[in-house]
Amino acid sequence: MAMTYNLFLLPGDGIGPEVIEQTRRVLGWYAAKRNFAFTAEEDLVGGASYEAHGTPATDAMMKKALAADAVLFGAVGGPQWDKLPFGKKPEQGLLRLRGDLKLFANLRPALCFEALKEASTLKPEIVSGLDILIVRELTGGVYFGLPKETTTLPDGQKRAVDTQVYTTSEIERIARVAFELARLRSNRVASADKSNVMVTGVLWREVVHRVHDAEFPDVVLTDVLADNCAMQLVRNPKQFDVIVTDNLFGDVLSDEAAQLTGSIGMLPSASLGAKDAKGRQPALYEPIHGSAPDIAGKGLANPIATILSFAMCLRYSLGRGEDAALLEKAVERVLAEGYRTGDIMQPGMTKLGTSAMTDAILKALDALA
Ligand code: IPM
Ligand code: MG
């Protein structure tokens, strides 16, 4: 009997609903053409959930996310919610998902499609053939460390504290993910930290090396200070294969890496938890571009990051590597054919909106299947 995948869709805010709608169409194609049986319940998250329920993540939604084989996430946030108290902000919905599902490993590939090497703000020879993978620790560090608070001092001024904290086991498990993935690629890991100023950085470096020496001596490991890593990414990004780093540095470096590829509208991500005894692994897939409120609802958003996130879901959660590769090839093909959304538009190319870009991808899937 064929397996029925239990997918859970969280479109969220801004362009999230538009791009997740395109994922639904791709799901439909796989159901019709590739013997892909699934359920895809949908719920609110972020600002949309706040408007309906007064909270960015309800317990009922969290329960469904925990039970799903994979969560397909759009984006959260928007200027209309900027003034909300911290705990009600749309972003807290995503952070609760990451925290409660224990999605500690965030994989952010930055791949420059050959057809797009001219679309980057960097010189084509710097980004041509670029293929790096940022492995970001996602449930620790300053995002989740306590105390996290604002207090008022006796003299009336305010004092805000975030806490950067890492334990040995948190560093070990993310290091293992990075080394294991490096073995499937070019076998090189650069570990980015601030061990020159932060004690968490000192521990990070110590533990990454211990895991390396004991379990992955075949992988080439280099250390790089996070600030230097940011500079090296624009100077000579192809020196990197896998970059492993903490939650905050990973947030910053992955946006930077995204821009190397031409547009942040291109980049998918996977957030994975630990496998349980039965081999089940919590997982959430999301484009890294965010909610882009300025273009929301206009049919202009690039659906490729979200569609490629579904490709990552096929590969990492559903064990359908061939189907994942097919979808990636279809995207490559439409780009090679000259189809572009506004964010990656170049002279002489054909400009498409969100849904027309998906039409082109579905057509390419038909041609390739
Ligand atoms: C990301 C985003 C999130 C983060 C926000 C939306 C909470 O920037 O996934 O990179 O800071 O992690
Ligand atoms: Mg970010």
Q: What mean pLDDT, rounded, does the chain reach?
A: 96
Question: Considering only CA atoms, which of 127, 141, 138 is closest in space to residue 99?
Answer: 138
Say yes or no: CB of residue 292 within 6 Å of ligand 1.
no
Ligand 1 center to 74 CA (angstroms) = 12
Q: Do 1-104+273-369 and 113-266 have matching folds?
A: yes
Longest distance between any two alpha carbons in the chain, whole Å? 70
End-to-end CA distance of the chain: 23
Give exposure, 173-187, as e/b (b: 16+ Cβ within 10 Å).
ebbbbbbebbeeeee
Ligand 1 center to 337 CA (angstroms) = 32
CA 313 to chain centre: 11
3-class SS of residue 42 = strand
Q: Give the Cα-Cα-Cα angle 112, 186, 125 (nearest 5 degrees).
A: 35
Say yes or no: CB of residue 251 within 6 Å of ligand 1.
yes
Q: Which residues are catalytic?
A: 143, 194, 227, 251, 255
Ligand 1 center to 294 CA (angstroms) = 18
Residue 95 CA: nearest ligand 1 atom is 7
pTM of the model: 0.95
3-class SS of residue 74 = strand
| pLDDT in the model for residue 312 | 97
Say yes or no: CB of residue 258 within 6 Å of ligand 1.
no
- Rounded Cα gap, residues 138 and 104, in angstroms: 5
Cβ–Cβ < 8 Å for 155, 142: no
- Rounded Cα gap, residues 80 and 158, in angstroms: 25
- Please report which confidence band the pLDDT of residue 86 belongs to, taking 50, 70 and 90 as the band edges: very high
| pLDDT in the model for residue 262 | 83
Atom 8, ligand 1: which residue's CA is nearest?
251
pLDDT of 300-335, one tens digit each? 999 999 999 999 999 999 999 999 999 999 999 999
The counts of H helices and E strands in the chain are 12, 14
> Lowest mean pLDDT: which of 168-172, 198-202, 272-276?
272-276
CATH class of 1-104+273-369: alpha beta
Ligand 2 center to 75 CA (angstroms) = 11
Ligand 1 center to 251 CA (angstroms) = 7
- Rounded Cα gap, residues 304 and 177, in angstroms: 26
Say yes or no: CB of residue 312 within 6 Å of ligand 1.
no
Say yes or no: CB of residue 94 within 6 Å of ligand 1.
yes
pLDDT of 26-55, one tens digit each? 999 999 999 999 999 999 999 999 999 999
| pLDDT in the model for residue 120 | 87
The backbone torsions φ and ψ at residue 40, rounded to the nearest 5 degrees and listed phi first, read: -145, 75
Say yes or no: CB of residue 256 within 6 Å of ligand 1.
no
- Please report which confidence band the pLDDT of residue 147 belongs to, taking 50, 70 and 90 as the band edges: very high
| pLDDT in the model for residue 215 | 98
- Rounded Cα gap, residues 104 and 24, in angstroms: 27
| pLDDT in the model for residue 69 | 97
Please report which ligand is nearest the Cα atom of 75: 1
Question: Considering only CA atoms, which of 220, 239, 214 is closest in space to residue 228?
Answer: 239
- Checking if the pLDDT of 207 tops 80, the result is yes
Domains of the chain, residue spans: 1-104+273-369, 113-266
Q: Ligand 1 pocket check: which of 91, 142, 246 to mutate, most ligand atoms within 8 Å of Cβ?
A: 91
- Please report which confidence band the pLDDT of residue 119 belongs to, taking 50, 70 and 90 as the band edges: confident
Peptide bond into 287 cis (omega under 30): no
**DSSP H helices in the chain:** 16-33, 47-53, 59-67, 91-100, 124-127, 168-183, 199-215, 226-235, 247-260, 304-316, 321-336, 354-368
- Rounded Cα gap, residues 208 and 180, in angstroms: 13
Atom 5, ligand 1: which residue's CA is nearest?
91
What's the whole-number mean pLDDT along residues 177-200? 97
The backbone torsions φ and ψ at residue 207, rounded to the nearest 5 degrees and listed phi first, read: -70, -40
pLDDT of 231-282, one tens digit each? 999 999 999 999 999 999 999 999 999 889 888 889 999 999 999 998 899 9
Say yes or no: CB of residue 137 within 6 Å of ligand 1.
no
- Rounded Cα gap, residues 285 and 321, in angstroms: 16
Question: Considering only CA atoms, which of 276, 341, 305 is closest in space to residue 69?
Answer: 276
Residue 94 CA: nearest ligand 1 atom is 7
Say yes or no: CB of residue 175 within 6 Å of ligand 1.
no
| pLDDT in the model for residue 52 | 98
Which two tokens mark 30?
A: 């796989």
Q: Please, which residues bridge with residue 137 across strands?
A: 105
Atom 9, ligand 1: which residue's CA is nearest?
288
| pLDDT in the model for residue 2 | 66
- Rounded Cα gap, residues 108 and 235, in angstroms: 20
Please report which ligand is nearest the Cα atom of 252: 2
Say yes or no: CB of residue 241 within 6 Å of ligand 1.
no
Neighbours of ion ligand 2 (CB under 5 A): 251
Which two tokens mark 16?
A: 């999230």
Residue by residue, DSSP assigns 218-237 as: TSEEEEEEHHHHHHHHHH-G
Ligand 1 center to 156 CA (angstroms) = 32
| pLDDT in the model for residue 128 | 95
- Checking if the pLDDT of 1 tops 70, the result is no
3.60.15.10, 3.40.718.10, 3.40.50.150, 3.10.50.30: CATH of 113-266: 3.40.718.10
| pLDDT in the model for residue 3 | 87
